[in-house]
Chains A and B, each alone.
Chain A
Amino acid sequence: MNGQGTKTFVVTRFDPDRDEAPRTQEYEVPVREDWKVLDALNYIKDELDPTLSHRWSCRMAVCGSCGMQVNGEPKLTCKTALREYGDRVEVGPLANFPVVRDLVIEMEGFLERLKAVKPWIIQAKEAAVIEGTNRQTPEQLAEFKQYSMCINCMLCYAACPVVANEPDFLGPAALALGHRYNQDSRDDGDSERHEVFRGDGGVFACSFANECSEVCPKNVDPSKAIQQAKLLNVLDWARSFVVPRGGR
């Protein structure tokens, strides 16, 4: 029975003060036809077991906090309808991240990776205020808009086999974000970012599994961004031999 009724939730639990390693706990939840996975987790927290810890906020796939593994797949739980699942639903913390508690992962490493790609506009020369605003045509905007839709939910990191194996890999969201600024017509920081991109754990560590793009709930397509960044990186690298860089 997939609509109204009861489903068993197998939830990963981890209490750093008491558990050696994560364990699972089962909950019987009376679910409603229109519930998302997150609704069931909130039901468990409110009605069955107040010790369960999970992150969530907006319930509308914008804040990016409720990413978890649902039956082994990274999902935004607020966007994942329960009726798609059978009578047993497994919910665990995102793969490839250290686990702080229950379904809550440690995201410090992710935030550092975001910062590493210099995700801000770098201008060769700061324009005077009197020169007015930076203008951008719709065509110029279209070149990077897709990559700016990321909500930092980290599902792509949980899906990526390279993240699991290369501890220095900057990962899909961060690299796509760097590429987004490189594609921005107002930005002159390409070469700086390309240096980062060719460093350890940069774009070339990606082996194009494409899973990041498969699981992305906002269709950002990080793998597209990374592959394009590879080609642009090779061109930038070749150019660096022809035109020596100024010390900006």
Chain B
Amino acid sequence: MRTLMLKLEPVVWGLFGAGMFVAGLLYPAFLLVATLMQPLGVLAPDALSFERAHALAAHPIGRVVLAAAVAFPLWAGAHHVRHVNIDFGGIGRDAWFGALCYALALVGSVAAVLAVARL
């Protein structure tokens, strides 16, 4: 497993960098507006109503942005968590732990593409 991860390292590293970029550009605004301001009632009540959210998400640009916003940061998360494990003495379990991190990111990425396809 480690050999496979080593072979794919250039790809994963690219996804990891892209993920930090995407997360950095999108997540602070998303967290602030959608998960804090909206529930706390700072916004207009229908700003994130189902109909409006669906219309935004189903727009071609919306689909691309959402798929990217889910998939790339998962790879960044996976790579970071894998390396934290190694830094805390976990190189012995890296073969399965690292693989598990990337498997989660892979499953999430596929699900993200499916999720925007079925909007």
Instruction: Point out residues on A near B: beta carbons under 8 Å.
Output: 161-162, 165-167, 198-200, 204, 207, 209, 230, 233-234, 237-238
Apart from the given pairs A200-B2, A233-B10, 19 other A-B contacts in the complex at a CB distance below 8 Å: A161-B87, A162-B86, A162-B87, A165-B87, A165-B89, A166-B86, A166-B91, A167-B91, A199-B6, A200-B6, A204-B6, A204-B13, A207-B83, A207-B86, A207-B87, A209-B87, A234-B14, A237-B10, A238-B10
Query: Is the Cβ of A234 less than 8 Å from the Cβ of B13?
Result: yes
Q: Chain B nearest CB: distance from A180 CB in Å?
A: 21
Provide the residues of chain B in CB contact with A233, threshold 8 Å.
10
CB-based nearest B residue for A166 = B91
Tally of B interface residues using CB under 8 Å: 12
Provide the residues of chain B in CB contact with A200, threshold 8 Å.
2, 6
Residues of chain B in range 66-110 having any CB-CB distance to chain A below 8 Å: 83, 86-87, 89-91
Provide the residues of chain B in CB contact with A230, threshold 8 Å.
13
CB-based nearest A residue for B89 = A165
Provide the residues of chain B in CB contact with A209, threshold 8 Å.
87
Provide the residues of chain B in CB contact with A204, threshold 8 Å.
6, 9-10, 13
Instruction: Give Cα A161 to B90, complex, Å.
Output: 12
CB-based nearest B residue for A233 = B10
Instruction: Give Cα A110 to B87, complex, Å.
Output: 20
Among A162, A167, A198, A207, the residue within 8 A (CB) of B6 is: A198
Q: List 8 A-B contacts (CB under 8 A).
A: A198-B6, A200-B2, A204-B6, A204-B9, A204-B10, A204-B13, A207-B86, A233-B10
Provide the residues of chain B in CB contact with A238, threshold 8 Å.
10
Instruction: Give Cα A161 to B89, complex, Å.
Output: 10
Most B Cβ at <10 Å: residue of A167, A200, A204, A209: A204
CB-based nearest B residue for A204 = B9
Provide the residues of chain A in CB contact with B86, threshold 8 Å.
162, 165-166, 207
Provide the residues of chain A in CB contact with B87, threshold 8 Å.
161-162, 165, 207, 209
